[in-house]
Amino acid sequence: MGRLNRSTVLSLYTDHMDQIQAHAQACYPEECCGLMLGQIVEIEGQVQKKLLALYTVDNTWEQAAVPIDEATSTSPLTAARRYWIAPQDLFNAQKYARTQGWDIIGVYHSHPDHEAVPSECDRKWAWPQYSYVIVAVKNGVPHDFRSWMLDDQQQFRTEQVTVLDAVATSTLETDI
Ligand SMILES: [Zn+2]
């Protein structure tokens, strides 16, 4: 468990950051979501997650078979308040990532007219190894971008984000 205590850094290219924000803007006022694929490297005790591709998925909250008691307090329960990634999308993303020698390193989603801070629902569904990028969108315009990770107490802490200038990146659309 010591690994989780160490600081991690999420590094991503400006292109990916732009694409995540564009996706968040396009889905407004609903939440967008997608998977982040890349490589995890450990350099001198520091875990670096390098985002190499985005795997865009549809927010399938409306179809998700989530037990009522898992749906927590916020209502109405629409895709404007929740996101849900279908297991098949996760499976396909994992399969694709493996062919590239990558892993799923995290999930991104947007918070329409809400700050870039994880909700209790986000926390309950979070996986310890993943980075959780949240984009806050106010009146249709993305204005905050943060990454979060669970600590050993299952609480979210902000994760350092390094933005790299660069070229040519790919976005995979699952619905093509
Ligand atoms: Zn959220």
Instruction: Give the chain's radius of gyration (CA, Å).
Output: 15
CA dist., res. 43 & res. 157, Å (int): 21
How remote is the CA of residue 126 from the centroid of ligand 1, in Å?
10
The distance from CA 62 to its chain's CA centroid, rounded to whole angstroms, is 19
DSSP type of residue 115: -
Q: Which CATH architecture has domain 2-168?
A: 3-Layer(aba) Sandwich (3.40)
Neighbours of ion ligand 1 (CB under 5 A): 119, 122
How remote is the CA of residue 101 from the centroid of ligand 1, in Å?
29
CA dist., res. 151 & res. 6, Å (int): 9
Summarize the confidence of residues 97-119 as an average pLDDT.
Answer: 95
How remote is the CA of residue 117 from the centroid of ligand 1, in Å?
7
How remote is the CA of residue 44 from the centroid of ligand 1, in Å?
32
Summarize the confidence of residues 55-69 as an average pLDDT.
Answer: 64
pLDDT digits (tens, 9 = 90+) for 1-25: 444 456 789 999 999 999 999 999 9
How remote is the CA of residue 83 from the centroid of ligand 1, in Å?
7
How remote is the CA of residue 124 from the centroid of ligand 1, in Å?
11
pLDDT digits (tens, 9 = 90+) for 21-55: 999 999 999 999 999 999 999 888 888 999 999 99
How remote is the CA of residue 112 from the centroid of ligand 1, in Å?
9
Q: Which residues contact 2 (CB under 8 A, 6 or more apart)?
A: none
- pLDDT averaged over every residue in the chain: 84
